Amino acid sequence: MRLYPKMTLIIGCMFMAILIILLLSFQYSIMNSFSALEEKQVSRELMRAEHMIREDISSLSEVAADWAEWDMMYDFVVSQSPDFFPDNFASSTFTAQKIRYLLIQDFGGNLVIGKGLDDHDNLVDISPDIIGSLQNETGLGSGKQSGILTCNNQAYLFAHNPVLLTDKKGPSRGTLVVARPLDDDAISIISEKLHQNVTTRVLTPDEKRRVHVGSHTLVSEDRIIAETHLFDVFGEPALLLRVEEVRELYESGLVTRDFLFFSLLLLAVSFMGIAITLINLIVIAPLGELNNELIKVGKSGLLSGRINISRTDEIGDLGRSINQMLEQIEQAVEQRHATEQRLSRLIALAEEGICLVSPERHIWFANPKLAAMFGMTPQELIGRDIMTLLLSERWDGKITAELFQDQPAYQEYHTRKKDGTDLYVKVITAPYPLEKQEDGHLCVISDITTFKDNEKALLLSNKKLGLLGSMTRHDIVNQLTTIRGMLGLVHRKTTDEVVLNLVESAEEAAERINKHIEFTKEYQKAGIQAPIWQNLQTCWNLAYAMTKKKGLTFSYKGGSFEVYADQLLQKVFYNLIDNSLKHGKSVFYITIKTTFVGKDLAIIYEDDGEGIPDNMKDRVFERGIGSGTGWGLFFAREVLSLTDIAISETGTFGIGARFEIIVPEGGFRPSDTMAQDP
């Protein structure tokens, strides 16, 4: 997606998210507040309606008390004068007091008089049905009572008062009951006063059983209703009082919400248009111009091409940064070309064969030296499997895997040139990226045929020299044995002290000659065979096992290491033990331990003998130094030096000898490491 529609989409989504958040906030905060306010309002109106009904009941109770506690009424209950009622009561009296029915009973419960208003507000006798209902429902005793009664699915407000004298003294001669129905007309008067839709109805028996105390509200989309239950004089639920109100406040809130939404939507669309236009003018259009300039530079194919930019804002800075980048790229390409030319000349003039090999082991590039090495031309080598050059016979995948690894590798091969001449080569390979985005290998191939021929000649010479030395030592030993035998005969045949002294001197000289010959035999072995990895503790155990002297304690307290050394390492330890026994005088304890000196391994040899004087610590490793043959420690240093292992004496004279053998890093490893010999 391009920048212009992407910016439009981002700005549009941002404004839509803001609108949705605002609308949700309005809906769940303000509209919910409106709903709560409406519920509170309708609950308050419900309480007012209930209060007005209670006031009507209280008004009836006052009227009943006024009429019942009256001396003339007290006399009327007994006299039952026919003139009493017409003289004191009229229809206007009932209308003014909001009374529909008047019922007077004597003390025995017998009806004295029952009057009421008809539909035209005329004063008439109460029908027997109504009289019976009122008598049955108001059988409450002789005390004062007022409240709500229900009979024949009709609710009545009534007041019951005993007939007494004006001073409220008695005894009571009966009861007076006033009542009026709580019908639609009465409720409409309450509705008009409250300006609300108030309704009541008598509860069914099922509703009476499921009634709960308190009021509750019912909310719909356009109306809100508050309901409560009114209890009769017996404390039983009788009526359902309901106040219903149109949700004008909520509807006004909805209108306000819609107006706010469309206003914000219009504002957002306007702002989006202005913002997108400004972004297009300030950012996108200049970027388009910058892109066109870059396209021109790209089509020119010249690294010297530059962008024409005259702006001083951030886009101008971007253009100038691009020009700087193009300048740096131009310089880098020029340097690369120069480096490639130098490298090409270097590869062409190199004395080593160099080639690049693809992942399929095919030669991708070869220098002239490699072609000359195999008696071919560079064109003949391109595309050829390099293993057909390195091996004259068939090969398996293991040989190829050993040469081409993820790290530098080294191998030597015996192969043949194109004309069949023997050729020995040394091959060093390393991973190298090719131009085709493939991971190939760089191979450096050296002709070591001359070296191999010299090596064979040297081995042959060593073999001949060894054979000559062995034959010479054998002949010398035979002649020396003859001389020593003759000296022994002379020693037994004469008693002349002078002659005997001369014979003993000759025998000692013969013994020294024999020891020198034995040393040359051992020294000849040093360096003949290639060094190998040897277990340090095993060499020590074999060395002290060769010691014949008893009463000595040998211990190994070193770590588990293998040392890369000449195969005469065991002889080195034997010579150290022999040196301790010959020159340490009273030696009883010899030990080996190891420690680290930096990254090197130090092998510490210690005994509890006399030790070596300070002026002899360096000279003991020289040839011929010492009271013996003078070859033991010299031989040990020579054997160790073949693999760059150093030895020195660091003990204290009078306490014991201490030899430190320092094995350099790479010349030792843990004994559990399985590695090939270098």
Residues 462 and 553 in one domain: no
DSSP state of 616: G
- pLDDT category at 14 given cuts 50, 70, 90 is confident
Residues 458 and 587 in one domain: no
CB-based contact 601:594 (threshold 8 Å): yes
Residues 535 and 424 in one domain: no
Alpha helices in 374-448 (DSSP H): 378-381, 387-390, 397-403
Q: Which of 466, 497, 522 is the last residue of a domain?
A: 522
The reply to whether 157 falls in a domain is: yes
The reported pLDDT for the residue numbered 667 is 92
Digit-coded pLDDT (tens) for 592-614 = 999 999 999 999 999 998 888 88
Mean pLDDT of 393-406: 72
Does residue 675 carry a pLDDT above 50?
A: no
CATH number for position 572: 3.30.565.10
> The pTM is what?
0.43
The reported pLDDT for the residue numbered 676 is 39
Residues 541 and 497 in one domain: no
Q: How far is CA 16 from CA 31, 269, 514, in A?
A: 21, 10, 108
Mean pLDDT of 430-445: 82
Residues 634 and 661 in one domain: yes
Q: How far is residue 448 CA from its own chain's centroid?
A: 55
Q: How far is CA 650 from CA 236, 537, 612, 656, in A?
A: 116, 22, 9, 10
Digit-coded pLDDT (tens) for 324-362 = 888 888 888 888 888 878 877 887 778 889 888 888 888
Residues 51 and 176 in one domain: yes
Q: Which tokens is 667 given?
A: 């010349």
The reported pLDDT for the residue numbered 66 is 92
Digit-coded pLDDT (tens) for 559-593 = 899 999 988 888 888 888 888 888 887 888 899 99
Cross-strand pairs, 241: 200, 228
Q: Which of 446, 478, 500 is the last residue of a domain?
A: 446
Digit-coded pLDDT (tens) for 526-543 = 556 778 999 999 988 888
Specify the number of domains making up the chain. Answer: 4
Q: Exposed/middle/buried for 198, CB within 10 Å: 0-12, 13-18, 19+?
A: buried
The reply to whether 384 falls in a domain is: yes
- pLDDT category at 136 given cuts 50, 70, 90 is low
- pLDDT category at 27 given cuts 50, 70, 90 is confident
The reply to whether 245 falls in a domain is: no
The reply to whether 391 falls in a domain is: yes
Residues 155 and 16 in one domain: yes
Cross-strand pairs, 27: none
Q: Which of 505, 522, 539 is the last residue of a domain?
A: 522
Residues 32 and 173 in one domain: yes
Domain holding 49, by residue range, is 10-180
The reply to whether 214 falls in a domain is: no
The reported pLDDT for the residue numbered 72 is 92
Digit-coded pLDDT (tens) for 480-536 = 788 878 878 887 878 788 777 887 888 777 766 765 666 566 656 555 677 899 999
Query: Which string of DSSP letters, residue by residue, matches 33-48?
Result: HHHHHHHHHHHHHHHH
Alpha helices in 32-108 (DSSP H): 32-68, 71-79, 84-88, 91-96
Place of tokens 């004063």: 123
Residues 565 and 644 in one domain: yes
Residues 139 and 22 in one domain: yes
Residues 398 and 496 in one domain: no
CATH number for position 381: 3.30.450.20
Cβ atoms < 10 Å from Cβ of 316:
14
The reply to whether 621 falls in a domain is: yes
- pLDDT category at 673 given cuts 50, 70, 90 is very low
Digit-coded pLDDT (tens) for 447-462 = 988 888 887 887 777 6
The reported pLDDT for the residue numbered 644 is 92
Residues 536 and 438 in one domain: no
Digit-coded pLDDT (tens) for 252-289 = 888 887 888 888 888 888 888 888 888 888 888 888 88
Q: For the chain, count helices (H), then strands (E).
A: 20, 23
The reply to whether 194 falls in a domain is: no
The reply to whether 322 falls in a domain is: no
Distance CA 351, CA 251 (A): 97
Mean pLDDT of 315-320: 83
